[in-house]
Amino acid sequence: MVILVKLTGSPESLRRQNRTNVLNCILNHEAIDRTQLALETGLTTTAITRITRELIEAGILETGAKSPLKSGPGRNRTKLKFAPNNTFVIGINFAAWERQMVLANLKGEVIAYLPFQLSNPQDSEQTLVEISNMVDRFIDLQNIKRHRILGVGFAIAGIVNSIDGRLDSSPYLGWQNVEIGKTLSESLGLQVAVENLNNIIAMAETRYGCCTNKKDVMLVRVGPGLGGSFLFDGKLARGNSFQAGQIGHIPVVKDGILCACGQKGCLNTIASGWSILADLKLSVPPASSPLRLVNDGILLEDVINRAKNGDKVVERAAFKSGHALGQMLSGLYQALAPEVILTVGPIAEISSYVDGIISAASENNINLPLFTPEDQKFKSVASSAALHGLSEFLFSPRFRLTDLMPNISTTAGSDLRETSL
């Protein structure tokens, strides 16, 4: 039995939600015809025809091959698919150690890539001006009209209020209460979605990458320090004041080494890139300034290369740090029962570090469902940030068709949703 259910809300909000449903349905198919779209979304064929016509006119969709009817007479059905190279999104990775921006198309494919440096990363106001100017030049170099850019996905290390686009704090950058989203949006004339970089990686891999069929995912990113992200039933766990995922600051050693956060004995001090550097007597953990982070990042690049070339001293230090993380992950796995624990970041690429994680779990009779960087689809955080931009500005009701085609008419009659009982 099929009934028609009138959606509640303003006509514009209903149109946006229906358009979002259609776009997300097409995302799950390489190509799909209108009849199948109507069946899968529950929208009327009239609504599907109007929505897809608007999306074709806006350059979001294009027609593809025709699908033959299974039986009986009639015309073949024209399939619809995304027109990838008409519309774009920018992704920015602004970590304390590495910084890049990318331009990506609607398939998430990187069209252009630009690593960048900053004159004084500790000065948030100056830094945002520099980033805005670099984005302007980046767009100009690609010879793309600005109105064909959906927006900017911005990944940054720290505690991020993603609703307001504000960085509440980042001890490694020395930033506090910085309105990143508002500042960049006003200067660029584009929508900007700011998110913690670990959350961005987790959401990109869950929606588009190696964890697409998983709903309960734990991510651990291992660079100079440790960061985490948790998804339960497919939804990001943000915690009180957006502080979920700060696993590097779990206290584990009483009266231990002072961490950059001001506490002693954090997991960062025994299970991260910094702890490897400390074991090798190359640095003291952990860095508390952007300059130290850059210097330690350079040291870690050398350490990673030494490990990959079979340096036994480095391998032992990496195994020790990985073992410390494995002890913590064993407890978190027992408490949270994720389907997957995804380890990412440059230190997680050291095989002996991963061996240490597995060894610690085995000592606790636990078989961790571990995914490593080899499983990760999107190696660049900036690419993941671009995908976050697509999720926020295309595959959500935030998508504004008029931004791409200011003169397009989006008036329509009432859309009815069909629901099977």
Residue 405, Cβ density class (10 Å: 0-12 exposed, 13-18 middle, ≥19 buried): middle
Q: CB–CB of 230/245 below 8 Å?
A: yes
Cα→Cα distances 270→33, 198, 233, 261, 421, Å: 55, 20, 31, 15, 56
- In the three-class reduction of DSSP (H, G, I as helix; E, B as strand; rest coil), residue 151 is classed as strand
- CA-to-CA distance for 206 and 200, rounded, in angstroms? 10
pLDDT digit string, tens, across residues 298-310: 889 999 999 999 9
Whether the predicted pLDDT of 406 surpasses 80: no
**Is pLDDT larger for residue 173 or for residue 212?**
212
Instruction: Note the pLDDT of residue 8.
Output: 53
Instruction: Please give the pLDDT value at position 250.
Output: 94
Both structure tokens of 87: 């519309």
- Give the residue ranges of DSSP H helices in 263-380: 268-271, 273-279, 290-308, 312-336, 351-363
Pick the CATH number of 2-84+400-420 from 1.10.10.10, 3.40.50.2300, 2.160.10.10, 3.50.50.60: 1.10.10.10
Mean pLDDT for 37-60 is: 94
Predicted pLDDT at 419: 31
Higher per-residue pLDDT: 64 or 228: 228
From residue 117, give the alpha-carbon distance in Å to each of 113, 183, 294. 14, 19, 11
Any residues with CB less than 8 A from the CB of 167 and at least 6 apart, and which? 156, 158, 159, 160, 161, 175, 177, 178, 180, 194
Supply the pLDDT for residue 307: 95
Round the average pLDDT of the chain to a whole number and report it. 88
What are the domain boundaries of the chain? 2-84+400-420, 88-202+379-393, 213-371
Amino acid at 247: I
Residues 224, 136: Cα–Cα separation, whole Å: 31
User: pLDDT tens, 236-280?
Assistant: 999 998 999 999 999 999 989 888 788 899 999 999 999 999 999
Strand order of the β-sheet with 149-156 is 110-115, 99-105, 88-94, 149-156, 192-196
Answer yes or no: same fold for 2-84+400-420 and 88-202+379-393: no
Q: How far out from the chain centre does Cα 358 lie?
A: 26
Per-residue pLDDT, 70: 53
Sign, CA torsion 77/79/80/83 = negative
Q: How confident is the model at residue 67 (pLDDT cuts 50, 70, 90)?
A: low
- Looking only at the bridges linking them, the beta strands covering 149-156 and 192-196 are parallel
Q: What's CA 326's distance to the chain center, in Å?
A: 24
Please check whether the domain covering 213-371 is classified as CATH 3.30.420.40.
Answer: yes
How confident is the model over 110-128, as a mean pLDDT? 93
The domain defined by 88-202+379-393 folds into: Nucleotidyltransferase; domain 5 (3.30.420)
